[in-house]
Amino acid sequence: MSTSAITKPPDAEGARAPGKLILSGEHSVVYGCPAVVVAIARYIDVWFTPLHKTNGLQTAFETLAPRSFYPFDVLKSFKDGLDKRFDEFMRGELPVQKILSKPDDLAIYTLTSLLPKIPAFGSQEGMPLPVPGQLTSRSDMPLGAGMGSSAAVVAATIVLYEHLLSRSQSVQDRFQKVRFCERLQHGKGSAIDASAVVFGGMNRVQGDDVRQLTLSPDHSLARSDGWYWVLHGTPVSKTGECVAKVRAQHGSNTAIWDEFTTCTNAFEKVIEDDSDPRDVIGENQRLLDYIGVVPIPSARFVAAVEETGGAAKISGAGAVSGDNGGAMVVYQPARDAMVALMSKYPDRQWDRLQIADEGARLTPAQPAMAAAQ
C-alpha cells in the first residue's frame, strides 16, 4: 500500500519508528484519564547522506514538504525562534498550527535539541554536527491522520543522531525528548504518541505514567485476528485545534471524562481476557461523537461497520471541521465481511492492525556486497 518514491541507499545510515493507534481514551487522556495505545507496523524511515560541498543540512521528506536547506550558522536562531513561537502559543497569542512553518521544521528542531551547543560550520570545539548532508524521510503510514507520524519522525531522528553524534540516551530519556519536541506540533508533548513510537507494543498511559501491556502470542490482537485500521480521509483540522475546541466546549465537564475512564478500564479488561470488544468500542465511539470529533461521513462508516456485525471508532483526535475523521479502528471477526464492506469504499486505505513490538531503532547501513545480494 505504500506509495513511496524515495529509496534508501544501502550504504546510508538510518533509523525508523512505528506509527500508533489509540484503542481507547482519546481526548480524555488530556484530563488525566487513562488511555490504551498500540504501536503499529507502519513506519517512518529517516536517513542521512553526506553532502560535503554544503554548509548545512538539506531535507527531503517524502510527501511532507519541498526540499529545504538549513545552514549550520542559523540552526541556533532557528531553534530559538520556534521556542519563542511556542511561548507565544502558551500565552494565547498564536494558534498551535502556526508554531511550525513547514513539516520538516520539526525534525530539524529535534536535531538542534540534541546538541547542548550548536557549533559554527567547521568548528572543532564542542560537539560538531557529523558532516553537512541531506536528511531524508520515507513513510509507509498515512500522514496527518492521527497515526503518530510527527512523533515517529521525531523518534527516528533522535535515534539516528544519537548514533551519528555518539551520544546515546536511555529509552526513558528518549521518551521525554520526543514529548519535548512534539509539543511544537500539538501544543503539548503527548505521552501517548511518545510511548508508542519509543517503546513499541501496547501501553496504558495516564498522565506521566506509562505501563506496558503484554499480550500472549495467541491473543487476537497479537495475531491481527479481526482487528483493522481504516483511513477515513485526512482531517483538515490538526490535533491541537481539536484538543483546543474540545477543551473550550467540554473541558470542565468532569462527568464525561469519568465516562471515558470507565470505558477505557472496560476496554483494558476486554484486552486482558481477549473477549469480544464490540460493545466497549461502540461505547468509546459514542463518547467521541458526544464531544464533537466525529464527522458525519465517519459516523456513517461506523454505522456501516455495525450493520455487518462489527464495531468501529475514531482513533486519535478526530476532526472538528470537514468530512474526514482520520484513522479509525475496526473490529470485524468475519474477514469476508470486512473485505466486502471495504469494496464499497475503494478510495479508503485499510489494512490489518499489526502490532510493532519494537519502538524506534537504527537501520544500519549494509555493506555494498551484502546489499547487492
Q: Which pLDDT belongs to residue 124?
A: 43
Give the start-to-end residue ranges of the domains of the chain: 13-215+356-372, 227-352
Please report the DSSP string for 287-306 in residue order: HHHHTT---HHHHHHHHHHH
Give residue 157's Cα distance to chain centre. Answer: 13
pTM: 0.85
Q: Is 3.30.230.10 the CATH classification of the domain at 13-215+356-372?
A: yes
Q: Which pLDDT belongs to residue 115?
A: 65
From CA 208, how far away is CA 364, in angstroms rounded?
A: 32
Of 3.30.70.890, 3.40.640.10, 2.60.120.10, 3.40.50.150, which CATH number belongs to 227-352? 3.30.70.890
Q: Which pLDDT belongs to residue 52?
A: 67
From CA 314, how far away is CA 294, in angstroms rounded?
A: 7
Average pLDDT per run of 10 along the chain, which is 373 residues long? Answer: 56 88 93 95 88 76 69 82 88 82 78 61 46 81 80 90 82 90 74 94 94 94 96 84 90 96 97 96 97 95 97 92 92 97 95 96 63 40
From CA 29, how far away is CA 27, in angstroms rounded?
A: 5
- Beta-carbon contacts of residue 244 (< 8 Å; ≥ 6 apart): 96, 187
Closest by CA position to 325, among listed 229, 190, 225, 202: 229
Q: Which residue has the cell 481514551?
A: 25
Q: Which secondary-structure segment (H or E) carries 106?
A: helix 105-113
Helices (runs of H) and strands (runs of E) counted in the chain: 11, 12
